[in-house]
Amino acid sequence: MASENVYVEHCKGVNGLDKVILREIRGCSAEVYLDGGQVTSWKNEFREQLLFLSSKATFKPPNAIRGGIQICFPQFGTIDSLEQHGFARNRLWSVDPDPPPFPANTSHRAFVDLILRHSEEEVKIWPHRYECRLRIALGPGGDLMLTSRIRNTNTDGKSFTFTFAYHTYFSVTDISEVRVEGLETLDYLDNLKNRERFTEQGDALTFESEEADFCVEKGWTSRCCRVEPLG
Ligand SMILES: O=P(O)(O)OC[C@H]1O[C@@H](O)[C@H](O)[C@@H](O)[C@@H]1O
């Protein structure tokens, strides 16, 4: 094991890409690729996989890894002129060797802090300098926490706007049993119907088939949902 402790292991994953494995004593774990700063696996104490990772995921940078939790920054979806979901998911993040400590009252030992900074090449397509920090922590009970912080490092004091998303692919065995609560009665844009606007009328979002792709709008945030068959 090429690791420094049992909670955090730095090793190589598919195609020799750098990967970090987080483990907690009850058996839960998470895997994070530095490519995309992406969580690709999250298992509970029974070693059950909670995230979906496509069998078609190529693990060939700079292509985004299809599945897990993709980081969409500085643009979510096609809201603006950049490529869909921005470029952070195509970039190689680095590990912060000296991360700020957790607040004293927590007992987190399985965590990794990642950093992504602008590249001069990127500034040509998105003219801003930034530092994006992402802390991925696996709690003692197996809960997974992602905390992100974006810092504007433009030297000319220019502000910028961005959109951000944790684009999460959950693994579900029977889509007809899934209910998403808290978003009902909101408008949604159906991507399978040319982004036509509808209002969900039920007491929860449910899915009638494995073909669904929509974006729910709530205030200044939007949540997208796409259902695809395993594979
Ligand atoms: O294929 P991409 O760029 O990784 O995007 C994945 C999905 O992202 C979702 O946000 C969209 O609603 C889907 O339409 C899209 O397929």
CB 77 within 8 A of CB 162: no
Per-residue confidence band for 229, with pLDDT thresholds at 50, 70 and 90: low
Q: Residues with Cβ within 6 A of ligand 1?
A: 64, 77, 84-85, 191, 213, 224, 226
Going from the Cα of 65 to the center of ligand 1, the distance in angstroms, rounded, reads 12
Going from the Cα of 213 to the center of ligand 1, the distance in angstroms, rounded, reads 8
Going from the Cα of 121 to the center of ligand 1, the distance in angstroms, rounded, reads 25
Reference 216, options 200, 192, 230; nearest CA is: 200
Give the pLDDT confidence of 26-68 residue by residue, as tens digits.
999 999 999 999 999 999 999 999 999 999 999 999 999 999 9
| pLDDT exceeds cutoff 60 at 146 | yes
Nearest atom (ligand 1) to Cα of 167 = 10
Backbone phi and psi for residue 179, each to the nearest 5 degrees, phi listed first: -130, 130
Nearest atom (ligand 1) to Cα of 84 = 3
Q: Left if phi > 0, otherwise alpha if psi is -120 to 50, otherwise beta: which for 195?
A: left
∠ at Cα 50 (45, 56), nearest 5°?
Answer: 135
Per-residue confidence band for 207, with pLDDT thresholds at 50, 70 and 90: confident
Distance (Å, whole) CA 16 – CA 146? 25
Q: Taking the model in full, what pTM does it have?
A: 0.91
Going from the Cα of 216 to the center of ligand 1, the distance in angstroms, rounded, reads 14
Name the fold adopted by 4-171.
Answer: Beta-galactosidase; Chain A, domain 5 (2.70.98)
The gap between the terminal CA atoms of the chain, to the nearest Å, is 30
Going from the Cα of 119 to the center of ligand 1, the distance in angstroms, rounded, reads 25
Kindly report the protein residue whose alpha carbon is nearest to atom 2 of ligand 1. 84
Which position has the token pair 């999250």? 42
Contacts of 92 (CB under 8 A, 6+ apart): 34, 35, 61
Long-range contacts of 194-199 (CB under 8 A, 24+ apart): none
Nearest atom (ligand 1) to Cα of 77 = 10
Q: Greater confidence, 49 or 209?
A: 49
Going from the Cα of 142 to the center of ligand 1, the distance in angstroms, rounded, reads 28
Least confident among 83-87, 124-128, 173-177, 196-200: 196-200
Mean pLDDT of the chain: 90
pLDDT, residue 104, reads: 77
Distance (Å, whole) CA 140 – CA 157? 41
All CATH 2.70.98.10 domain ranges of the chain, comma separated, are 4-171
Give the pLDDT confidence of 17-29 residue by residue, as tens digits.
999 999 999 999 9
Distance (Å, whole) CA 8 – CA 218? 37
Spell 130-149 as b/e; 16+ CB within 10 A means b.
bebbbbbbbbeebebeeebe
Kindly report the protein residue whose alpha carbon is nearest to atom 3 of ligand 1. 84
Going from the Cα of 55 to the center of ligand 1, the distance in angstroms, rounded, reads 16
Per-residue confidence band for 3, with pLDDT thresholds at 50, 70 and 90: very low
Kindly report the protein residue whose alpha carbon is nearest to atom 4 of ligand 1. 66
pLDDT, residue 1, reads: 45
Pocket test for ligand 1, best of 223, 224, 225, 227 (most atoms within 8 A of CB): 224
Contacts of 103 (CB under 8 A, 6+ apart): none
Backbone phi and psi for residue 49, each to the nearest 5 degrees, phi listed first: -80, 130
Tokens of 206: 């449910």
CB 74 within 8 A of CB 88: yes
Tokens of 103: 């607040």
